[in-house]
Chain A
Amino acid sequence: EAGVAQSPRYKIIEKRQSVAFWCNPISGHATLYWYQQILGQGPKLLIQFQNNGVVDDSQLPKDRFSAERLKGVDSTLKIQPAKLEDSAVYLCASSLDDQGTEAFFGQGTRLTVV
């Protein structure tokens, strides 16, 4: 079974530029999450999708971050404009549904904002 796929693996941009990350969850998984993991810290949930609807985006900085999952499968996370403090690993995870006990994580995209 293929795991959660994310791309790109690495991205370096200048502050005030835009960037987008892509995630393909495990086939059949209805729930998808985006996490931000700053170096030396645990992951922090940014947004949770159930199929193509947003369940929780309370921690998403909506002035600069946006995410979509239009067809209920792949998802993109965008930052516009980026700030230095956005440097982090962005992890995507998926689970079968919103009542399960296991979420599967992708390898993440390491973003460096200079």
Chain B
Amino acid sequence: GEDVEQSLFLSVREGDSSVINCTYTDSSSTYLYWYKQEPGAGLQLLTYIFSNMDMKQDQRLTVLLNKKDKHLSLRIADTQTGDSAIYFCAEGAINTNAGKSTFGDGTTLTVKP
């Protein structure tokens, strides 16, 4: 079945770049998502990328997709303390949508001042 894996923790200093990595197994994945979850809050969609794209940039966020290796990464430039949260990678197959995605277990990003 589908499986999405992420490293559990990442710690960076304020102002540095953060790179959060994710691997997935379902080769039919059409959409790949990054969500942010702050303490006591629901999930907030940050960005998504279609499987026919290699890269997507949105302000401080850069998503890189290596479809051959089934590897997805999220780079946050100039990381701020407000970026501290849990980041979830998720994948969705064709004919499904974001609500029916398979999620990884999340990477806890800690930004130190």
Give A contacts to B, CB under 8 Å.
Answer: 4, 31, 33, 40-45, 48, 56, 91, 93-95, 97-108
The stretch among B58-66, B67-75, B100-108 that forms the contact with chain A is: B100-108
* New A-B contacts (18) at CB < 8 Å, excluding given A43-B43, A91-B43, A102-B45: A4-B42, A31-B97, A33-B99, A40-B105, A41-B106, A42-B105, A42-B106, A45-B100, A56-B100, A93-B99, A98-B97, A100-B98, A101-B31, A103-B45, A105-B44, A107-B40, A107-B42, A108-B42
What is the interface of chain A mostly: helix, strand, loop, or mixed? Answer: loop
Asked if residues B98 and A102 are in contact (CB atoms below 8 Å), the reply is yes
Given A101-B31, A101-B48, A91 contacting B98 (CB threshold 8 A): no
Q: Tell me whether B97 and A42 are in contact (CB under 8 A).
A: no
Residues of chain A contacted by B44 (CB below 8 angstroms): 105
Chain B residues at the A interface, C-beta cutoff of 8 Å: 4, 31, 40-45, 48, 88, 90, 97-100, 103-106
Interchain CA distance A70-B88 in the complex, whole Å:
31
